[in-house]
Amino acid sequence: MKLHGRLLLIPAHLLLIASVAFAAAPDYEIELQTVTSGFDGKKCWVHARAGAIPPRAAGNDSDTPLVVMTMQLLRVDKSDVFSGLWDLRTTDLGRTWSKPVEQPGLRRDSPREGVDVVACDFWPTWHAASGKLLGTGATFAYSQEKDDHLKDEPGFTSYSVYDPAKQKWDNWRRLKMPDDKKFGFSRAGCSQRVDLPNGDILLPIYFRTVNAKAHSATVLRCKFDGETLTYLEHGNEMTVPIQRGLVEPSLARVGDRFFLTLRNDEQGYVATGTDGLHFDEPRPWKFDDGQPLGSYNTQAHWVTHGEQLFLVYTRRGAKNDHVFRHRAPLFMAEVDQEKMVVLRATERVLIPEQGAGLGNFGITQISPDEVWVISTEWMQPETAVDHGSENRVYAAKLRWPKR
């Protein structure tokens, strides 16, 4: 697997720098960077997401954010069989990147003989109240003998804290949940959180009893003291009677409203609320012309800028039937916050499609006027190579004019 520590010069058809004026919306540019690339046919990087330590914050004495990206390796001959987590960093807004380094604190754990548990679906986010970079995610359990999933095993929310002085993540830990069978499998996998001004964390999760199939989603309110993440309460529990229910929820806040987007096997859903814990009934995502958004069985996340709300997603209908679950290209469009629909005319491609899925991705707030959308080319199925994918790790850098 070939890795690159510097900004790559990439072909013009992959470098999208554009400026489009929306109605009542500022212009923004998209700069697409390939952070790493290369595929050995056996393993590929997945779940790349990053957190930004602000300038002059503890552990960052520079005038630019310290951006720390985590990702892990996937066995392409199996489904969701991951290594532990690696990280890489940039101190110059992505002009150069360090090489990926395996993190001892984020390796697989062996809680009992014959079993490995891995922290996965990880998302680092700056926690301003404690001055710490806190990553949250999920867990999977594997048989050591077969290196494959163990059925009817519990699942947990994993978390870890980054030490910028040592350039290391602490040993990952499990969030302790209430002693209730319904939380036997409960995870903050791929979940975008909101931190409140008082330091409390609103963390979306999905959960079920260990041997059930359908999931529900809710938002936890947690306390974080800089070392330990503690459950305080959770909001209303939401599901739909369709296959696996609702999973991989992501949360955003604009003004005094909260917005939750949720994954379902057949279509994406959205719900809104005013306290971050309680939400109205989830409804399917649609365009403003009434047509279904066409996003299904994969995650979606939020970008906010001032009073604006944007959804980042994948969907059908983009000449992408050859892509697994239509998980590429990666789109972004503005959301009408009153009608809760996606404004079709504002849709833009953030990361182009080259055969591989891009639907496992993350959002990083770099500054009030710069947001990065980070994703990887997921090299399953093997036909992704035929369309030009080579396990690129992308950073789509969105920049608005300074306010």
- Rounded to the nearest integer, the mean pLDDT of the chain is 94
Q: The tokens 């789109």 sit on which residue?
A: 331
Q: Is residue 188 part of a domain?
A: no
The predicted pLDDT at position 326 comes to 98
pLDDT band of residue 229 (cuts 50, 70, 90) is very high
Q: Is residue 371 part of a domain?
A: yes
Q: Is residue 304 part of a domain?
A: yes
pLDDT band of residue 124 (cuts 50, 70, 90) is very high
Q: At residue 4, does pLDDT exceed 70?
A: no
Output DSSP code: residue 392: -
Q: Is residue 137 part of a domain?
A: no
Q: Using one digit for the tens of pLDDT, what is the confidence trace for 197-207?
A: 999 999 999 99
pLDDT band of residue 402 (cuts 50, 70, 90) is confident
Count of domains for the chain: 1
Q: Is residue 347 part of a domain?
A: yes
Q: At residue 3, does pLDDT exceed 50?
A: no
Taking the whole predicted model, whether its pTM rises above 0.85 is answered as yes
Q: Using one digit for the tens of pLDDT, what is the confidence trace for 312-355?
A: 999 999 999 999 999 999 999 999 999 999 999 999 999 999 99
Q: The tokens 């609103």 sit on which residue?
A: 202
Structural domain boundaries enclosing 396? 1-35+287-403
**Residue 317 C-alpha from the chain's centroid:** 23
Q: At residue 26, does pLDDT exceed 70?
A: no
Q: At residue 8, does pLDDT exceed 70?
A: no
Q: Is residue 369 part of a domain?
A: yes
Of the chain, the percentage scoring pLDDT greater than 70 comes to: 94
Q: At residue 69, does pLDDT exceed 90?
A: yes
Contacts of 148 (CB under 8 A, 6+ apart): 78, 81, 142
Helix (H) or strand (E) holding 132: strand 132-143
The predicted pLDDT at position 27 comes to 87
The predicted pLDDT at position 38 comes to 97
Q: Is residue 41 part of a domain?
A: no
Q: Is residue 389 part of a domain?
A: yes
pLDDT band of residue 15 (cuts 50, 70, 90) is very low
The predicted pLDDT at position 12 comes to 34
Helix (H) or strand (E) holding 60: none
State how far the Cα of 165 lies from the Cα of 89, in Å rounded to an integer. Answer: 13
Of the chain, the percentage scoring pLDDT greater than 90 comes to: 92
